[in-house]
Amino acid sequence: MEQISQRLVNWASILDPATREQAERTASMPFIAPHLALMPDAHLGKGATVGSVIPTVGAIIPAAVGVDIGCGMHAVRMALTAADVRRRGGLSKLRALIEHRIPLSAGHHNKQVRSDETRERITELENTDGADSADSIAPNWRLQLGSLGSGNHFVEVSVDEQDRVWLFLHSGSRGVGNKLATRHIRIAQQQCANRKITLPDRDLAYLVEGEPEFDAYIRDLRWAQHFALLNRREMMHRVVESVHDWYGEPVAELDAVQCHHNYTAREQHYGQHVWLSRKGAIDAHEGVPGLIPGSMGTRSYVVVGKGNKQALHSSPHGAGREYSRSAARKRFTRADLEAAMHGIEWRRTDAFLDEIPAAYKPIDQVMHDAADLVEVRHVLRQIVNVKGD
């Protein structure tokens, strides 16, 4: 751990100057208390650094949560082994089944409500405070439920160190969450402008606790977080169905882990109640299970938190980018991507070049940096990868 300043501590051994400077700007905000914690996967973000844990008193920075509110992971261990997979074969068929059931890529969604179970999830969201806001800004959100998106979102089939099969997916609150977040970021910017507040970055604009705009953000944020959680459950249900079809018979679901990594929660740290925004970080209170995916083609981890006080009971949420998407496309080739994905069933396309593992920090280094934050329970290696382009 590196103490950068009185209000900024860092667990990232790989940290470029621009990311450090961005974190220092965020940590300088007057309502940060006790300090901002940078996770091992920290990299440049919009306003606030991705991979940062930001405690605030009396205010929240909407951009410090991000536009993909509630983004996170869901993993389920199946009653299958690597030997079962080898006997069954046909992983390309399994990938195709998953891709058929789950709408992929930005802007893609379901054409209709898929099933009674999907309808139950929609009804739950309709009865959750904040649904009116969602209806006003993205009336098709019901058809977004059960869709993946693009970028670093994925569905994977993996095998752990005991050759047991896991289903693993990463996604968030889709277009509806993005639109809700963008609305509140603009409201925060307008409020700061009206008050003639000078900000080190306009994306650090904040809402003040006790005011109606703050309450409206918390309401919409909690709705979007719940949408993201149910979105992952809906997708996992469809992935399990795909496994059943591929395997030829039902397969039992065993262990399950789910966690957010873009959200705000009311927590107590250093004896003080704060709003804790985890932007690209997961809850790592002692004993809390979590998931840390690597990049496309690398290992992922099932972990449990160690409750590190200085890290504000948090840990990294993934590998963290070293190269921007445009820089990765200039530096790496399709041949590089093919080599990185050797032995994994995936949809071969240049569209994923900016997701090549080399565009990210080495996951081994990230996990080494996180040794004081989490304990590794299982190490997963991919055998099937599904992504949207």
**pLDDT for 60-106, tens place per residue?**
999 999 999 999 999 999 999 999 999 998 999 999 999 999 999 88
| Domain CATH number, residue 13 | 3.90.1860.10
Exposure string of 350-388, with b = 16+ CB inside 10 Å and e = fewer, is eebbbbbbbbbbbbebbbebbeebbeeebbbbbbbbbbb
Q: What does the H/E/C string look like for 111-147?
A: CCCCCHHHHHHHHHHHCCCCHHHHHHHCCCHHHHCCC
Longest pairwise C-alpha distance within the chain: 67
Tell me the mean pLDDT in the region 186-205. 96
**Total number of residues shown for the chain:** 389
Positions annotated as catalytic residues are 317
pLDDT category at 157 given cuts 50, 70, 90 is very high
Q: For the chain, what percent of residues have pLDDT higher than 90?
A: 94
Asked if 200 and 25 count as a contact pair (C-beta separation under 8 A), the reply is yes
Which residue has 């306003």 as its token pair? Answer: 47
**CA dist., res. 259 & res. 288, Å (int):** 10
| pLDDT value of residue 93 | 96
CB–CB of 70/225 below 8 Å? Answer: yes
Tokens found for residue 163:
């050759």
Mean pLDDT of 356-367: 95
Using the predicted structure, report yes or no on whether residue 110 has a pLDDT greater than 90.
Answer: no
pLDDT tens column, 115-140: 889 999 999 999 999 999 999 999 99
Q: Are 356 and 336 in contact (CB under 8 A)?
A: yes
Question: What's the mean pLDDT when you consider all of the chain?
Answer: 95
Average pLDDT score over residue span 188-202: 95
| Cα–Cα distance, 291 to 309 (Å, whole number) | 20
Tell me how many domains the chain contains: 1
pTM for this predicted structure: 0.95
User: Which structural domain, as residue segments, surrounds residue 322?
Assistant: 2-386
